[in-house]
Structure formats: structure tokens, C-alpha cells
Amino acid sequence: MAESGFADEVDAVRRAWQSGNEEEARRLVPTGLIDKIGVVGTPEQCRAKLEEYRDAGITLPIVSPRVSGPGAKESAMEVIRACAPR
């Protein structure tokens, strides 16, 4: 992540996390970093981003939602289905 241009931000997140301030660490994660390493948004936005990856030559994008708590499996499957090409 540092090599992607987010060295200072990653250091700030790390310091907050290591000091036990998880909420602050989460708040400090820059949106630009999330956009660069993940797919986030509405189902339509996610499908469009995945299509950009396909157009760039990625033949099998892996959708791996991060969910937890009650109903996590069902939530994960809902995300996977929503990201599938129409």
C-alpha cells in the first residue's frame, strides 16, 4: 500500500491501530486507497468496476466480501450475486 502512494496514510493508520484506537484507525483509511485495492459501492458501481477489470484483461476477478455477524454467509452470497455480470 505504501508503494501505491499511501505511505504516510498507512503509517498513521498503523499508529492508531497499535495504540488501541481502532475507530480512529478505520477513520484514517483513505478513500483513495480503498478505491485502489477494492471494489466498493452499489451493485451497479461494483459491476461496472469489475467490468473495467475484465476489459483490462483480468479474466477471473475474485469477489471476496468481508462480512461478519449473524447472517454473514447470506450477506456474502448476496454481495457475490449482486456483483455478477448481468
Q: Are 26 and 57 in a shared domain? A: no
Q: Are 66 and 78 in a shared domain? A: yes
pTM: 0.61
Q: Does pLDDT of 33 surpass 90?
A: no
Q: Are 31 and 63 in a shared domain? A: no
Q: Are 85 and 46 in a shared domain? A: yes
Q: Are 60 and 32 in a shared domain? A: no
Q: How far is CA 26 from CA 6, 29, 33, in A?
A: 15, 6, 12
The alpha carbon of residue 22 and the mean position of all alpha carbons in its chain are separated, in whole angstroms, by: 18
Q: Which domain holds residue 58?
A: 41-86
Q: Are 72 and 32 in a shared domain? A: no
Distance CA 43, CA 39 (A): 10
**pLDDT average, residue stretch 30-57:** 88
Q: Are 63 and 51 in a shared domain? A: yes
